[in-house]
Structure 1
Amino acid sequence: MIDRGVIPSLFTLGNLVCGFVALSFVAEGRYVPAAWLLLLAAALDNMDGRLARLIGTDSKFGIEFDSLADVCTFGVVPAFMLYHSLLHSPWGAVVAACFLLAGASRLARFNVISHEEGEKGEFFMGLPIPSAAIVLTQYIVYTERTWDTIHAAQFGIALVVLLSLLMVSRVEYDPVPNFRSSALRDRLKVVYFLISVGLILHPATSREIFFPLAMLYIASGLYRRLCGMFSSEITQHA
């Protein structure tokens, strides 16, 4: 009989395998299946931690193993995909490496916080690397049909800078919506999540709609940050 403590690690292994296969697709210029594999990897990454906490088998090994898998899948693959598709030059490699370095730093900080504080808070501090990876890879898929390479590369550099800064920032981001909550805020998140999934899974709209929807998530954290700063200023001047 399999030790139940191994079960979450199987999901982490699945995440890592998805990353390796996605990397092979990128090397062949097959960006669309590579981007979809990162989505599957993100789902597996979300499930391993939840499952570990559910069955009471979360451990330091699990946290470290998960982070190693994440830096490979959500750090190396998107960075290589950007370099291979839009920034195929020495300077392009440097720009792509910035995304990888920021993601690795984000994971290292997450591990330190997890060891010191235990349970995760209500929000993620900084943009999670799976979310950043999905935004970047979906951008590449989105621009294949809509933009020329020069403009796509220029905006891609700006996007890498934005995502890298957000990953190492203290901007707060929502986790996956809580389907059990009855709060209006959580219900609105669930509605947005379900509509997004429906549009993404529809073959006629998936390539065109996914990146804009992902950017809404990026904007949500910045909006919360600005609202927090604005409310703090009002409180100080009251």
Structure 2
Amino acid sequence: MGQAPRRFRFTPRKLGPRERPRLGGLSFNRLLPNLLTMLGLCAGMTAIRFAIEARWEPAVTLIVVAAFIDGIDGRLARLLQATSRFGAEFDSLSDFLCFGVAPAFILFLWTLHDARGLGFIPCLLFAACMALRLARFNAAIDAPAAPGTVPRPAGFFTGVPAPAGAGLALFPIFAALTFEGWGLDRLAAAMRHPVFSTVLLVAIAGLLVSTLPTWSFKKVKIPRQAVLLLMLGAAAYAALLVAEPWAALAAAGFVYMGMIPFSLRSYRQKLEAARLAMPSEAESPAA
């Protein structure tokens, strides 16, 4: 008798972890901060378009939207561990357009063109100082601290940051829209005078490139007894922002300018504390 034919059963072999095919590319989590930065860039460009069409309210609203996006894209990148040199450079280029070029362009079309060719000078100065401020910020990322110097206290910007500078530059438009809504046409016309916007732009340009320390609000500690008061103030401001958005934005500029002396005092106190904490030359070990 002949032997029965053998039956072969095919069993698929499982691939090991190194043999499994992988798709190249970046995950969506790593792309999300850059996508937000792109949205902010589009908001700045669209604001320029609305300014050309003399639609001032949507123009300045989009600058505020770009500032909001700029405030969350960096924090989101750190949260998702998606920080990169490309993202930092892209964010700076977007900031230059949204907070350097767009506000100056809006103000020029809104009022400064009435000053003939002289109205373009403060706009150019503001944009140039914004570019210098962003370039200095990028250069400071890789610059090591000099040995023996007192470390700079954390939680402070050098000069006024870009979104705050754009908001301060647009203060005349916020105030004019507020006064127009309240029926105060004379005050609205005063806010639209080219001299006022010129002086304001030059002053803010100086603050952008200055070494004045300003709070970054990232590591500011709130006392426990002030937490409830802060939450109530935030709720009141949110209500004002809904009821009178232009008045709320104009008031934010006043509050920010009023906080600069306090941030300077806090910076000096922390710098002096860091200087006293450093060992003196006599206490340092001999080489």
Determine helix, strand or coil for the equivalent of 2:112.
coil
Distance 1:16 1:111 in 2: 18
- 2:78 aligned with 1:39: no
Aligned match for 2:169, one of 107, 121, 136: 136
Larger radius of gyration: 2
* Correspondence list, 1:174-189, <5 A: 174-176=215-217, 183-184=223-224, 187=227
Determine helix, strand or coil for the equivalent of 1:147.
helix
Give the corresponding residue for 2:202: 161
Distance 1:184 1:150 in 2: 40
Determine helix, strand or coil for the equivalent of 2:160.
coil
Distance 1:211 1:171 in 2: 22
Report the residue type matching 2:254 in the other structure.
M
Name structure 1 gaps, 5 residues minimum. Answer: 233-238
Checking the alignment, whether the CA contact within 8 Å between 1:177 and 1:189 is kept in structure 2 is: no
Give the corresponding residue for 2:250: 211
The structure-2 alpha-carbon separation of the partners of 1:75 and 1:157, relative to structure 1 and needing over 3 Å to count, comes to: same
Report the residue type matching 1:109 in the other structure.
R
Determine helix, strand or coil for the equivalent of 2:193.
helix
Name structure 2 gaps, 5 residues minimum. Answer: 1-25, 146-152, 181-186, 272-287
Post-superposition shift, 1:141? Answer: 3.3
Aligned match for 2:52, one of 27, 32, 47: 27
The TM-score, its normalising length taken from structure 2, stands at 0.70
Aligned match for 1:122, one of 116, 135, 155: 155
* Correspondence list, 1:107-118, <5 A: 107-116=134-143
Post-superposition shift, 1:57? Answer: 1.4
The structure-2 alpha-carbon separation of the partners of 1:114 and 1:121, relative to structure 1 and needing over 3 Å to count, comes to: farther
Say which structure is richer in helix.
1
Give the corresponding residue for 1:73: 98
Q: Deviations over 1:8-28 (max 9, x none)?
A: 100100100100111101111
Report the residue type matching 1:13 in the other structure.
M
RMSD value, Cα: 3.1
Checking the alignment, whether the CA contact within 8 Å between 2:111 and 2:192 is kept in structure 1 is: no
Distance 1:132 1:75 in 2: 9
Checking the alignment, whether the CA contact within 8 Å between 1:200 and 1:209 is kept in structure 2 is: yes
Distance 2:109 2:190 in 1: 12
Give the corresponding residue for 1:235: none
Distance 2:231 2:121 in 1: 38
* Correspondence list, 1:62-101, <5 A: 62-88=87-113, 89-101=116-128
Post-superposition shift, 1:97? Answer: 1.0
Determine helix, strand or coil for the equivalent of 2:143.
helix
The 10-residue stretch of structure 1 (150-159 or 87-96) with the greater mean CA deviation from structure 2:
150-159
Give the corresponding residue for 1:106: 133
Aligned match for 2:79, one of 29, 51, 54: 54
Number of positions where the alignment pairs a residue of Structure 1 with one of Structure 2: 229
The structure-2 alpha-carbon separation of the partners of 1:32 and 1:182, relative to structure 1 and needing over 3 Å to count, comes to: same
The structure-2 alpha-carbon separation of the partners of 1:168 and 1:225, relative to structure 1 and needing over 3 Å to count, comes to: same
Report the residue type matching 2:155 in the other structure.
E
Distance 1:164 1:192 in 2: 30
Distance 2:158 2:225 in 1: 19
The TM-score, its normalising length taken from structure 1, stands at 0.83
Q: Deviations over 1:178-229 (max 9, x none)?
A: 79x5535984666554433331222xx2223421321220221134326767
The structure-2 alpha-carbon separation of the partners of 1:97 and 1:186, relative to structure 1 and needing over 3 Å to count, comes to: farther
Give the corresponding residue for 1:147: 188
Post-superposition shift, 1:68? Answer: 0.3
* Correspondence list, 1:185-196, <5 A: 187=227, 192-196=233-237
